[in-house]
Chain A
Amino acid sequence: MTWIFENWERFWEVTEVHLRLSVVPVLIGFVLSIPLGWWANRSQTTRAVLFPLANVLFTIPSIALIVITPVLLGVKILDEINVIVPLVVYTVALMLRSVADALAAVPGNVIAAANAMGFRPLRRFLTVDFPLALPVTIAGLRVATVSNISMVSVGALVGLGGYGQLFTEGYQTDNTPKVLAGLIGTVVLAVLADGLLLLIGRLLTPWARAGR
Chain B
Amino acid sequence: MPGYAERVKVVGIYIQGGPIGVVVATGGIRRVIEFRAVTKRFEDGTIAVDELDLTVEAGTITVFVGPSGCGKTTSLRMVNRMIDPTSGTILVDGKDVLTVDPPTLRRGIGYVIQQAGLFPHRTVLDNIATVPLLSGWDKRKARTRAAELLEIVGLDANFGKRYPAQLSGGQQQRVGVARALAADPPVLLMDEPFSAVDPVVREDLQNELLRLQAELDKTIVFVTHDIDEALKLGERVAVFQTGGHLAQYARPTELLAAPANDFVASFVGRDRGYRTLTFLHADVPVHPIDTAKLGERITVTDWTLVVDEENRPKGWLSGVDGEVEVREQDLISGGSLYDGTTLRGALDAALSSPSALGVVVDGAGAVTGVVQAGDVIQALAKARAAGEVPK
Contacts and interface: CB of A to CB of B under 8 A. Distances in A.
B103 A112 contact: no
Interface stretch (A116-124, A136-144, A147-155): A116-124
B107 A117 contact: yes
A117 B163 CA distance: 19
Contacts of A71: none
B122 A116 contact: no
B118 A116 contact: no
Contact of B163 (A120, A131, A210): A210
Main secondary structure of the interface of B (DSSP, over half): mixed
Given A110-B117, A118-B103, A207 B131 contact: no
Contacts of B121: 131-132, 205, 207-208
A118 B162 contact: no
Contact of B113 (A116, A118, A207, A208): A116
B122 A207 contact: yes
Interface residues of B, number: 29
A63 interface: no
A61 interface: no
Interface residues on A, range: 20 to 34
B162 A210 contact: yes
B223 to A, nearest CB: 13
B195 interface: no
Most buried by B among A110, A118, A131: A118
Contacts of B111: 113, 116-117
B193 to A, nearest CB: 12
A28 interface: no
Contacts of A128: 119
Nearest to B182: A117
Given A128-B119, A132-B120, A113 B113 contact: yes
Given A109-B115, A112-B82, A117-B111, A210 B106 contact: no
Given A109-B114, A112-B113, 12 more contacts: A109-B115, A110-B120, A112-B82, A113-B111, A113-B118, A116-B189, A117-B131, A117-B179, A118-B107, A128-B119, A206-B163, A207-B163
Interface of A: 107, 109-110, 112-120, 123, 128, 131-132, 205-208, 210-212
26 contacts: A109-B113, A110-B117, A110-B119, A112-B82, A112-B113, A113-B116, A113-B119, A115-B82, A116-B80, A116-B106, A117-B111, A117-B130, A117-B131, A117-B134, A117-B179, A118-B102, A118-B103, A118-B106, A118-B134, A119-B103, A119-B134, A131-B121, A132-B121, A210-B163, A211-B165, A212-B166
Interface of B: 80, 82, 102-107, 111, 113-122, 130-131, 134-135, 162-163, 165-166, 179, 189
